Amino acid sequence: MKPLQILVLHGPNLNLLGIREPGHYGVATLAEINQQLSELADALNLGISNYQSNHEGGLVDRIHHAVTEKIDGIVINPAAYTHTSIALRDALLASNIPFVEVHLSNVHKREAFRHKSMLADAAVGVVAGFGATSYTMALRGLNEHLLNR
Ligand code: DQA
Show the CA angle centred on residue 138, arms to residues 143 and 41, nearest 5°.
50
Q: How confident is the model at residue 1 (pLDDT cuts 50, 70, 90)?
A: confident
Which ligand 1 atom lies nearest to the CA of residue 103? 10
Q: How confident is the model at residue 83 (pLDDT cuts 50, 70, 90)?
A: very high
Q: What is the pLDDT of residue 33?
A: 98
**73 DSSP assignment:** E
Which ligand 1 atom lies nearest to the CA of residue 77? 13
Contacts of 28 (CB under 8 A, 6+ apart): 17, 18, 36, 131, 132
| C-beta of 120 in contact with ligand 1 (< 6 A) | no
| C-beta of 114 in contact with ligand 1 (< 6 A) | yes
Q: What is the pLDDT of residue 111?
A: 95
Average pLDDT over every residue of 104-133: 98
Show the CA angle centred on residue 114, arms to residues 113 and 119, nearest 5°.
110
- CA–CA gap between residue 43 and residue 47 (Å, rounded): 10
Please write the tens of the pLDDT for every residue from 64-73: 999 999 999 9
| C-beta of 107 in contact with ligand 1 (< 6 A) | yes
pLDDT over 80 at 119, yes or no: yes
Contacts of 90 (CB under 8 A, 6+ apart): none
| C-beta of 77 in contact with ligand 1 (< 6 A) | yes
Cβ pair 146, 138 in contact under 8 A: no
Q: How confident is the model at residue 2 (pLDDT cuts 50, 70, 90)?
A: confident
Q: Residues of 52-89 as b/e, b for ≥16 C-beta within 10 angstroms?
A: bbeebeebbebbeebeeeebbbbbbbbbebbbebeebb
Interval between CA 107 and ligand 1 midpoint (Å): 7
Catalytic residue annotation: 25, 103
